[in-house]
Chain A
Amino acid sequence: MIFQVENPVVEVHDLTVSYDRKPVLWGIDLTLPAGALVGVIGPNGAGKSTLIKAMMNLLPVSSGYVRIFDQPLKQVYSRISYVPQRESVDWDFPASVFDVVLMGRYGQLGLFKRPRKADKDAAMDALEKVGMQSFANRQISQLSGGQQQRVFLARALAQNADVYFMDEPFAGVDIATETAIIQLLRLMRDEGKTVIVVHHDLQSASDYFDWVVLLNMRLVASGPTEQVLNQELLEQTYGGKLTVLSKVGDLLRKQEFPAREKS
């Protein structure tokens, strides 16, 4: 059940990604509509984060390509924004909350240039949107998990992008933060932004997202939530790994086979 859309914001074409030669995502082919709040859902080890990272060109792909606004990623850096997993950085880094949010402006500033006053205003605005303005001067090492997530979100907001890719923004945060974040994401969607969120909680998925991508090493479904989030497709997604698929992947790694023949 894979719905394709006209004039997609994100187009993933026949994407295969491997770690150490073993494919963890097989032939993902999907398109995402503009102005949608998209949830990427699947069990642990399904390759949800891998998909986002591959879209952001952070991982080498074995085959396929990703286009955003019908352009390669390199052309649209200024229109996209990435929120990495909270645990991906060392929060014991000597920086304040404001310093980190200001990093969201670095892309527009370019090399060498120092942040201008306007950039500082934008960073402060972004902090306000996530309700953290009073924490601006706080050291990042003193933040709780939910506050760290809000800081990362504020950094992305400061970029003023059109498409947002978020890796598990709801993981390990308190209820208050989760509610605040989802409200913010809805607001962004209503402004016409596209927000793509890796999410692990099936319970809240139908409530949060208007488009759902079901993933388990391969694409199970991609489409409007009410048409895709049904018993049958969920069983396909969560009903264990495809054994033959994993075995073939193991073989590729052991025999040092390339995932694709070189053309």
Chain B
Amino acid sequence: MQDFLEFFSFTDANIRYVTLGSVLLAASSAVVGCFTLLRKRALVGDAVAHAVLPGVCLAFILSGTKNPFILLIGAFVTGWLSLVVIDYITSRSRIKEDTAIGLVLSVFFGIGILLLTSIQQTGNAAQSGLDKFLFGSAASLIGGDLIAFGVVAVLLLVAVVLFYKELTLLCFDQAYARTIGFPVRGLELLLTTLTVFAVVVGIQAVGVVLMAAMLITPAAAARFWTENLKVMLVLAALIGAFSGIAGAFVSYTAPSMPTGPWIVLIVSMIAILSFALAPGRGWVARIMRQRRNKTRILEENLLKLLYQLGELRQDYGSGRSLEDLLERRNIPKKEALGGLQKLKRQGYLRNEDSRWLLTPEGEKRGRRVVRLHRLWELYLTQYLNLASDHVHEDAETIEHIITPELEQRLVEELNYPDLDPHSTRIP
């Protein structure tokens, strides 16, 4: 708690810098990640993330310093090279892109680990901390590092705002973009460069191994909440920023703890919650929808039963007992009773001496279901040439989903019929 208050009061200047840095990095890579995701090149981000490691190590070996700008350049060069190699392999051989990505990722990362190990064995005092690039350390984001990475992050955000229209079209319909004279190859190059930069600035906080999650996960989570690209970009940035702050907090309170895994865990948790809870696309919303459909089917079936009984006995006025109903249709008793109670509350039924009666509104609804059932049976026999004893099952479902407009069309196409295929009157 003490740590929590100390951290979030932001009185310590270092904490302010570390937090600011993490937020900027996470937000900018999340925004670029949206376009990578929509272009269906999520895996490429992973390859680039792993491929920057040899660049960082080489830059250190050649320069002998940990100057952030030099390391950034090294990371950029090998990150870029990996993409060129992937493209080359895909276009010049029969190897498919996913295989090429797998190959390039492991080869570059292998070389990177090799270099890192040999650097550590030289005993060079300056090398301490280089291994932080593997899993990230947000707490070391201070001074020159913060400025270097922060500037790149801001540039990324500016580039996305500036090229919003072009990047959107590139991701949605590349062929069309070319036919209106857009420099598609240049734009591809731009998006690739942005992706590499997003990875490069993120590795300080998250590390190369888990950087792909920072690029893709916020975008994937944001996609669940919105159908609007601009909103999606902002949401992804916020999700990224939140996990950035969380990562900075963990890194500050437990400096020996690598930041990357924490950030990734938090952002993944947000993503899982999004999959579950998002309206419309989410998992809970889908279950709710299915439940609603189920209740509706139950209610309409009960109304239909009561109407049919009335039809059968030529008497809509007297009540029917629960047993009467269940005799005609196999519904679990408890479920049926619940449905009847609910219909009563809604004003479709009355209950007199434990007998159930349709109100005028209930009768109307029940009649409509019966009518749709018979109309659909007729449609199937007439237009699909199904035998009249094969159409009942199908109509049992369809009767619940036909809209009034479709009903009208159906009636017109059947030429205002009176009788269904079983020669029963259509009400």
Per the bound structure, the CA–CA distance linking A90 and B172 in Å amounts to: 7
B179 touches A77 (CB 8 A): yes
- Tell me if A50 is interfacial: C-beta within 8 Å of chain B: no
Q: Count how many chain A residues have C-beta atoms less than 8 Å from C-beta atoms of the other chain.
A: 32
Q: State A57–B227 Cα separation when bound (angstroms).
A: 32
Whether the pair B181, A103 counts as a contact (CB closer than 8 A) is: no
Question: Are A58 and B179 in contact, with the CB atoms below 8 A?
Answer: yes
User: Shortest beta-carbon distance, B190 to chain A, in Å?
Assistant: 11
- The answer, yes or no, to whether A248 is at the interface (CB within 8 Å) is no
Q: Does A4 contact B (CB under 8 A)?
A: no
The answer, yes or no, to whether A246 is at the interface (CB within 8 Å) is no
Q: A57-B178, A107-B180, A139-B227 are in contact. Are A95 and B166 (CB under 8 A)?
A: no
- Tell whether, in the assembled complex, residue A106 and residue B180 are in contact, meaning their CB atoms are under 8 Å apart: yes
B227 A141 Cβ-Cβ under 8 A: yes
Question: Using a CB-CB cutoff of 8 Å, which residues 99-145 of chain A contact chain B?
Answer: 99-100, 103, 106-107, 109, 111-112, 114-115, 139, 141
B229 at the interface (CB under 8 A from A): yes
B172→A89 contact, CB < 8 A? yes
Question: Per a CB cutoff under 8 Å, which of B163, B172, B179 touches A82?
Answer: B179
Please give, as numbers and ranges, the residues of chain A lying within 8 Å of B181 by CB-CB distance. Answer: 74, 77-78, 107
| A56 close to B180 (CB less than 8 A) | no
Neighbouring B residues of A56 by C-beta, 8 Å: 175, 178-179
Would you give the shortest CB distance from A88 to chain B, in whole angstroms? 6
Measured as residues with beta carbon below 8 angstroms from the partner, the interface class of chain B is 20 to 34
- Asked if B171 contacts A93 (CB within 8 A), the reply is yes
Q: Which residues of B contact A99 (CB under 8 A)?
A: 168, 229
CB neighbours of A103 from chain B (8 A): 169, 172-173, 176
Asked if A96 is at the interface of the complex by the 8 Å CB criterion, the answer is yes
How far does the alpha carbon of A53 sit from the alpha carbon of B178 in the complex, in Å?
11
B229 and chain A: residue at smallest CB distance? A94
CA distance A89 to B179 in the complex (A): 15
The yes or no answer to A80 lying at the interface (CB within 8 A) is: yes
Tell whether A82 pairs with B176 under 8 Å between CB atoms, given A77-B181, A93-B38, A103-B169.
yes
Closest to B178 in A: A58
* Of B168, B179, B232, most A-chain CB atoms within 10 Å: B179
Q: Is the CB of A169 closer than 8 A to any CB of chain B? A: no
Q: In the complex the two chains form, is B166's CB within 8 Å of A94's CB?
A: no
Q: Is B182 an interface residue (CB 8 A)?
A: yes
Asked if B226 is an interface residue, CB under 8 A from chain A, the answer is yes
A259 to B94, CA, bound (A): 19
In contact, A84 and B173 (Cβ under 8 angstroms): yes
Residues 150-179 of B, flagged 1 when their CB comes within 8 A of A and 0 if not, give 000000000000110110110111011111
**B173 contact set on A, CB distance < 8 A:** 84, 88-89, 103
Shortest CB distance B167–A (Å)? 11
* B227 interface neighbour in A53, A89, A94, A159, Cβ under 8 Å: A94
**What is the CA–CA distance of A107 and B223 in the complex, to the nearest angstrom?**
28
CB distance from A97 to the nearest CB of B (A): 11
Q: Which residues of A contact B226 (CB under 8 A)?
A: 94
Answer yes or no: B228 CB below 8 A from chain A CBs: yes
A107 touches B175 (CB 8 A): no
Decide yes or no: A106 and B165 within 8 Å by CB, A58-B178, A94-B223 being known contacts. Answer: yes
Q: How far apart are the CA atoms of A109 and B223 in the complex, in Å?
A: 28
Residues on A with beta carbons closer than 8 Å to the beta carbon of B227:
94-96, 139, 141
Once the chains bind, are B178 and A107 in contact (CB under 8 Å)?
A: no
| Minimal Cβ-Cβ distance residue in B for A167 | B175
- Whether B229 and A159, one on each chain, are in contact in the complex, defined by CB atoms closer than 8 angstroms, is no
Q: Quick one: closest B residue to A93, CB to CB?
A: B172
Q: State how many angstroms separate the Cβ of B148 from the closest Cβ of chain A.
A: 27
**Complexed CA–CA distance, A74 and B178 (Å):** 10
Query: How many Å lie between the Cα of A96 and that of B229 in the bound state?
Result: 9
For the complex formed, measure the closest distance between the CB of A22 and the CB atoms of chain B, giving whole angstroms.
Answer: 14
Q: Report B164-220 residues with CB < 8 Å from chain A CB.
A: 165-166, 168-169, 171-173, 175-183
Q: Are A80's CB and B179's CB within 8 A? A: yes
Measured CA separation A78–B181 after assembly (Å): 8
Contact with B along A175-195 (1 / 0, CB 8 A): 000000000000000000000
Residues of A within 8 A of B175 (CB): 53, 56, 58, 82, 84, 88
Which single residue of chain B is at the shortest CB-CB distance from A159?
B180
For the complex formed, measure the closest distance between the CB of A60 and the CB atoms of chain B, giving whole angstroms.
11
In angstroms, Cα B229 to Cα A159, docked, is 23
- Chain B residues numbered 80-124 whose CB sits less than 8 Å from any CB in chain A: none
Contacts of B228 in A (CB 8 A): 94-96
Could you tell me which B residues sit within 8 Å of A by CB distance?
38, 40, 162-163, 165-166, 168-169, 171-173, 175-183, 223, 226-229, 232
A–B complex contacts, Cβ < 8 Å, 18 sampled: A56-B178, A56-B179, A74-B181, A82-B176, A82-B179, A84-B173, A89-B173, A93-B171, A94-B232, A95-B229, A96-B228, A99-B229, A103-B173, A103-B176, A109-B165, A111-B163, A115-B165, A139-B227
| Beyond A94-B223, A95-B228, A111-B182, 14 additional pairs, beta carbon < 8 A | A57-B179, A77-B179, A82-B175, A82-B180, A93-B172, A94-B226, A99-B229, A106-B166, A106-B169, A107-B180, A111-B166, A115-B165, A139-B227, A141-B227
Please list the 5 inter-chain residue pairs (A to B) with the smallest Cβ-Cβ separation, ordered nearest first. Answer: A107-B180, A77-B181, A82-B179, A139-B227, A94-B229
